[in-house]
Every structure is written in structure tokens, then in C-alpha cells.
Amino acid sequence: MNLKNASAAFALLGASALVLSGCAAAPEAEPTASSTATATESEAPAETVDFLACAVSDEGSWNDKSFNESVMDGLMLAESQLGVQIGDAESNSSEDFEPNLQAMVDANCDITFAVGFNLVDSVNAAAEANPDVHFVTIDGWSNGATNLKPVGYNMAESSFLAGYVSAAHSASKVVGTYGGIQIPAVTDFMDGFYYGAMSWGEENGVAVTVVGWDPVAMTGDFMGDFTPNSGVSKSIAAAQIEAGADVIFPVAGFQFGAVSEAIKEAGIDGAMVGVDKDIALTSPEYADIVLTSAEKRMTAAVYDIIADLVAGAEFTGDYYIGTLANGGTGLSPFYGFDAAIDDATKARLAELENGIIAGEIDPKAVNY
Amino acid sequence: MSNNEDRFSQALKEILAGGFTRTIISVILGFLVGALFMIGSNPEFIESLGYFFSRPADALGAAWSVVNEGYGALFKGAIYNGDADTFVKAIKPMTETLRLGAPLILAGLGLGLTFRVGLFNIGGTGQLITGLIFAVFVATRMELPFFLHLPLAIIAAVVGATLLGALVGFLKARTGAHEVILTIMFNYIMLYFFTFLMRDPALLQEQAATGNPKADPAAETALLPLLLGDEFKLHWGIILAIVAVFVFWWLMERSTIGFRLRMVGYNPDAARAAGINVERTYVLAMGLSAAFVGLAAANQALGTQFGLTPSAHANIGFDAITVALLGGSNAPGILLAGLLFGAFKAGSPSMQVLGVSPEVLGIVQGAIVLFIAAPPLIRAMFRLPKPQTTNVLGEIRDRIFRKGGAK
């Protein structure tokens, strides 16, 4: 009796195993050409283009409300606007980089974006091994492969402006900044912020203090990782508020929940400066304390690169550097804080911006 | 005649009640759970559910195609790519499965060893990182000829990991601190210590000093050589893993050390009464366990020509827990379990390109171990017989393998 039941169970299992193994003779059993066309699943726009844009994430998921997400937004924008197909793979650790990039090569991607400096070795190797496949490395560099286009940002430029306006807005004349990990891609923001704030102080003859980063000694406050809204993040923000800071610039992905909690718990009339995206727009729940944001407009860069290629332009391995001049980076509007910032400061900001664009002002030095 | 029939049904019962049957069922159930998740997260399926009763074929078709494409991609990414234009490309996925499975097997052996002794080593990550630190130091800061450099780097990885493992065993034996707490805390300590070392060019940071926390690539003389030529990334790590499987089997099933370890695992009090020094056995078990994990560290540090970053441990220390549990903490089981999870890692990118979320495989992995950990659940679901106390199978096996039996 028992045995009969058991064999029945096995028959069932056998059947389900057959269904699962995918070797049954269904028409879709071999997704040959369709493996290159992910977007065919969703209702693709009427005029789809035969172009597959792919991306491999840095450690972390696409919806990190920061770095990775900006790139994915660019891909999705290209999907809806240009009708291209997209493919993607998330990396959980450095071990995933190579297999993920290889999967993109195997899927015959027309272009593959490798997000983050962590992938720089893997993407250079992939580019050298596949000379006729086009790659883009964001925040990385090319070791010589011409089929690899580096995309970088001079984030110090917009962060300089952010530091300037933060110092102007601060009541205590103490502003704070902290980072995720002490790497150039992070400290670039913090350098600009520091010198921007100091420049305002020199200009106005007021002593301004920046807590959390000293660009000369290269020491400051860092979380040790990029975990969104972590407890560490909140305690750093709280410590900086304790030290008198009332404007905080967290350069560590999405820390705006943590900073906003720290500000509210301290009961001060504080503000924070967003990074990467226009935080007042993307996270309206914090808009009332977002002074402005130093945007790293990767979405636009990704979209533009795809759009150029779809339009028939030749792929080049030339550097793309996002600057104030080409709009790759910039300050977000002040929204609710617009009235709180006087016209003289705004005029001076415009002047500084033009100075940086013209190359007369170095955002990594005190200017006045 | 009837006696024979009885024996046959008894043997079948033993097979059905045994761990192997349960393992196979658990794996299949795990895939079913993953399939349900894929179906449930598929927008087309959800859309067609809206008109399920007017046209059920749409929903069923969508469900079928998403599962079929998803697991089809897993097969293509991990075993054999039938669409590839060359033979090399077609079998490359299989070599990737071996490459990614090797560290899981090695670390799985390590953790399985402690499970057999009744210890729960959660410190795979910490021990692996200690091994990485030692191996990276030897591989990037020393210049030696190949025949010395590679063995020395491997030994360094093993020694580094063993030291940390033995320290945990020592603290447990001496102070009574629980090994779970100790190993978890050491995971954090070693992870941040590793990152710290990579921040200073005087320590392990790359000489190019880009400011990023990253080590130099291993010297070519310290790299594990490629196994199948330049076309494949598969290196000698898999050979290391297979040798380790044999060593583990011999150690646990045949040696006196293994006998002592198992005895402590069955019943520490009885072992103590029998004259075994249980505390020393704990230190020995943690050290040996970490030694296997150290081999996984050697595989990670010496198996890539890129410099390591703080995430080079790739969560292998935790994945290895599931490998050891799925493999029943025995050598052949861990080998197969490691290869299965290696296949998941190799196939995951191909699934993601199709738009299947990478979490699916994590869910499959977790579900499998969940089912493994609950034998009564599986027995109830499939009406399997209770564990048998008879040993008909053993007798049959004995008769077949008995030495000189034919005489």
C-alpha cells in the first residue's frame, strides 16, 4: 500500500521533472534567437529597433536609488523612447563580474555598460578578448582597448557649487559631509564640497567649518560600505549634527532616510544635499529638507550613447567626461529653498559655474 | 522465493527511507518552488490571470514559457549551450560550472567536517578571508619561481585559515564560548581587517595606488595554471577540489582521527568516557575544517589574474553551509551539491539576460536546504516509509563487494 503511494509520487515527480527540465517538445523549447530579444516579452513599441543594449551592475541591485539605478534608468528610457531591447545582469560580488559580462557577449549585445570602477579589470579583459564587441565602463578606464569607452564625471565641479550654497545657507556655518568608502569616486564629491564651502567663508570673511572630510590630510568620516540608510550612516550624521553641522552632504548612495532621521531627532532646522540624482524629485518625502543635489547624470549619458549608436553613429573608445560644461553634472533646482537663498548668492553661483566651465576656477581649491 | 521478494521490498523501503531519495526530492521541490516564483513574478502571467477563466490557455502558456525559458537558460548557461557556433563555446558553460563549483566544494567539505563533529562553523567567510590575506601576501609581495611560489601560496592560504579556525576551537574548548557566536564575530573582524589592509599601499593595496581598496593581481608564478588551455577559464582549482574530496573521505571514514571526530559528534559524553579528549578534538576539528576552507581561499586568490577586492570572498563561506547540508556532510554528497550550486552561479547570468530575476536561484537554493532539513515533512508529503533499522542494502552491497567472494 505504502509502496504503491510512493511509486505514484515518483511518477508525479518524474512527470514534473520532465516538464521542468525543458527538454519537452514544445515550440518554445529552444529560445534560440529570442534569447537576444528580452523585450519581446513586454509589449514592445510598434517600431522596435534591432539593437540590444545591456548592462552589468556593480555589487548591488539596479534599484539602489543611486548609481546602478541611474544607468538602468538610461537603458529603460532607451527601451521606451528608441525601441531598443535591453538585457541586464546584477552582480552580488566581484566573482560575478566575468560571468555576467560573458553572458552579455554570448547574448550578442550591441553595447554593454559595465557600471562602476570595480568592474574595470573584468571589462578591460572582456573588451580585449572580444575586440568586435562594444563596451562602456562607467567610472572606469581603458587599458588601451579601443572598443571600450570610459565614462567619467568631474563631480568636484557640481559639489563645489553645492558646498558654496550649503555654507551660505547654514546658520551655524558648520557643514558636514561623509562617504561610503574612501575611494576617489567618492572623495571627488567631498573635495569639491569642502572647497566650495571654504570659498564662501573666505569670500564673506566668515569662519566656515567642514566636518567629516579634510582633503589635505585625506581623512574623514566613512561608513565602510554603501548600505542604504544604515545605522552607521545615521550615527555619523548624528555625530556631525552634534558637532554643529546643519547642512549634510552624504556621499554614499542612498542615505537620505538616515540623514533625515538624524536631523529630525536632533530637532534642528537642518538640511541635506542630495547626490547622484535630483533627490527632491526622486524621493519627494524628503523634499522639505533637500537643499539641492549634486547630480551625476548617468541616465542622460547612457541614453545619449545608445541614441547615437542607434542613429548610426560609429562607436568610439573616446572618453566621455561629465562636466558642468556639457551638463553631465550639475546642481538641482532649490525648489522649496529657492526663497531662502538670496539673489547675491545665486548670482555668485552662476559666476562660479561659468568660471569653472571656462577653466578659470579650480573646484579643488579655495576661490574668492 | 517469497523470502527473496521480502528482501527486495525491504531493500526498496530502505532506499526510499534513505537520505538520498529525500535529497533528490528536495532538489526537485526546490526547483518547483523557484518555478512558482518565476511564474508569479512574470508580468504577462499576472496580466493573463485577469481573464484566466475566459482563456486559461494564455496564463498557462505564459507560465509554461517563463519556466521553460528560465530553466532552459540555466541549462544553457551552466551545462551545454546548444546554440553556440563552435564546440568550445558550447561546452564552455560546463567548465564554468566546474570553476565556480570548486570553491564551494572545498569550503563545503570544511563546514561539513564540523557538522559531523556536532559543531556549527558559521565562520567560513572569516576563515576564507584569513586564507585570502595570507595567499595574497605571498602571491603579490614575494618573487619566487613557479614550482615554489604556487605551492607556498596555497600552503599560506591553508595555514592562515587553519590558524583562525583553531583559534575558535581553542576559545571554545578553553572558555566555553559558543562557536556560532565566535565564528560570526570573526567574520566581521576579518572582513573589515581585509578591507583595512587593502587601503594602505604599504600593506596589501595595489602598488598603482588608485586609492581604491584593491590588491595587486597575483604574480603569474603564483597563479593556478589553466586546465584546458586559453579558451577556458577553468584552472587547477577543480583538481584541488577533487583531491580534497578523496582526502576528506579517507580522513572521515577510514582514519582514526575521523573515527574520533565522529565519535565526539555522536555523543561527546560517551566519547569523553571512552577516553577521548573532547576539548582537543574541538580544536582539531575547527582547524581541519578551516584548512579545507583555506583551500577554497587559495582557489579564489590564485584562480584569477585580477586583483582582489574586499568582496572576493563572494559569500562562499555562507553558500558552503547549504552545500554541506545538501551534501549530507559526506564527501560524494558535497561534491555533487557543490557542482549543483556552482551550476547555479554559472547559469545565473544567462537567466538574468532573459529578464528572470537573479533572486530565483537563491530561493531555489534556500528551499532545497529547507526541505532537506525537514525529513518528516518530505516523508509526510510523499508517504515515504520511516527510516529502516534493517540492513538488507548493506548485505547486498557486502555480497557484491566482498573481497575474494568469488572463490
pLDDT in tens, A90-141: 988 888 899 999 999 988 999 999 998 889 899 999 999 999 999 999 988 8
Confidence of residue A32 (pLDDT cuts 50, 70, 90): very low
| Predicted local distance difference test score (pLDDT) of residue A44 | 46
* Residue A35, CB-side half-sphere exposure with 13 Å CA sphere: 28
Kindly tell me if the per-residue pLDDT of A26 is higher than 60: no
* Residue B116, CB-side half-sphere exposure with 13 Å CA sphere: 31
Of residues A41, A99, A118, nearest to B44 (C-beta): A41
Sequence-distant contacts of B391-397: CB under 8 A, at least 24 apart? B391/B14, B392/B7, B392/B10, B392/B11, B392/B14, B393/B11, B393/B14, B393/B15, B396/B11
Distance CA A271, CA A197 (A): 15
Confidence of residue A21 (pLDDT cuts 50, 70, 90): very low
Nearest CA in chain A to B33: A20
Average pLDDT over residues A266-286: 93
pLDDT tens digits for range A306-332:
999 999 999 999 999 999 998 899 999
CA dihedral B199, B200, B206, B210 (to 10 degrees): 70
Nearest CA in chain A to B69: A31
Phi, then psi, of A239 in degrees rounded to 5: -65, -35
Report which of residues A17 and B297 the model is more confident about.
B297
Measure B100 CA to nearest chain A CA, in Å: 9
Chain B residue numbers touching A96 (CB-CB < 8 A):
314, 345, 348-349
Distance CA B62, CA B54 (A): 15
Phi, then psi, of B219 in degrees rounded to 5: -60, 145
Which contiguous run of DSSP H or E holds residue A272?
A: strand A271-276
Q: Would you call B156 exposed, middle or buried from its count of C-beta atoms within 10 A (0-12, 13-18, 19+)? A: buried
Of residues B25, B68, B314, nearest to A28 (C-beta): B68
Average pLDDT over residues A239-262: 94
Phi, then psi, of A98 in degrees rounded to 5: -65, -50
Chain B residue numbers touching A3 (CB-CB < 8 A):
9, 12-13
| Predicted local distance difference test score (pLDDT) of residue B210 | 67
Phi, then psi, of B227 in degrees rounded to 5: -90, -35
What single-letter DSSP state applies at residue A292? E
Distance CA B106, CA B248 (A): 10
Distance CA B204, CA B212 (A): 12
Q: What percent of chain A has pLDDT over 90?
A: 70
Cell numbers for B34, please give them: 523557484
Distance CA B365, CA B362 (A): 5
pTM of the model: 0.80
- Reduced to 3 states (helix: H, G, I; strand: E, B; else coil), residue A273 is strand
- Reduced to 3 states (helix: H, G, I; strand: E, B; else coil), residue A325 is coil
> How big is chain B by its Cα radius of gyration, in Å?
24
| Predicted local distance difference test score (pLDDT) of residue B382 | 82
Look at residues B257, B241, B223, B20 and name the one whose alpha carbon lies nearest to residue B109: B241
Do A309 and A112 contact (CB within 8 A), yes or no?
no
Kindly tell me if the per-residue pLDDT of A66 is higher than 80: no
Do B106 and B296 contact (CB within 8 A), yes or no?
yes
Do A195 and A178 contact (CB within 8 A), yes or no?
no
Confidence of residue A31 (pLDDT cuts 50, 70, 90): very low
Confidence of residue A224 (pLDDT cuts 50, 70, 90): confident
| B interface test, pick of A68, A94, A120 with most B CB neighbours within 10 Å | A94
Confidence of residue A8 (pLDDT cuts 50, 70, 90): low
Kindly tell me if the per-residue pLDDT of A233 is higher than 70: yes
Average pLDDT over residues A263-288: 93
Q: Which residues of chain B have pLDDT under 50?
A: 1, 405-407
**To 5 degrees, how large is the angle CA B60–CA B64–CA B68?**
175
Q: How many domains in chain B?
A: 1
A-proximal residues of B, 134-163, CB under 8 Å: none
Place of cell 583538481: B239
Of residues B28, B345, B348, nearest to A17 (C-beta): B28
Identity (one letter) of the amino acid at A123? V
Chain B residue numbers touching A187 (CB-CB < 8 A):
211
Residues B349, A224: C-beta atoms closer than 8 Å: no
Do B302 and B224 contact (CB within 8 A), yes or no?
yes
Distance CA B174, CA A285 (A): 53
Cell numbers for A263, please give them: 536631523
Confidence of residue A35 (pLDDT cuts 50, 70, 90): very low
Confidence of residue A22 (pLDDT cuts 50, 70, 90): very low
| B interface test, pick of A40, A106, A187 with most B CB neighbours within 10 Å | A106
Report which of residues A67 and B320 the model is more confident about.
B320
Report which of residues A240 and A183 the model is more confident about.
A240
Nearest CA in chain B to A59: B311
Asked if B345 has any chain A CB less than 8 Å from its own CB, the reply is yes
- Reduced to 3 states (helix: H, G, I; strand: E, B; else coil), residue A296 is strand
Residues A6, B384: C-beta atoms closer than 8 Å: yes
| Predicted local distance difference test score (pLDDT) of residue B237 | 96
Distance CA B82, CA A318 (A): 37
Of residues B43, B65, B346, nearest to A99 (C-beta): B346
CA dihedral B182, B184, B185, B186 (to 10 degrees): 80
Asked if B224 has any chain A CB less than 8 Å from its own CB, the reply is no
Domain of residue B223, residue span: 3-406
Report which of residues A368 and A172 the model is more confident about.
A172
| Predicted local distance difference test score (pLDDT) of residue B156 | 97
Place of cell 523549447: A29
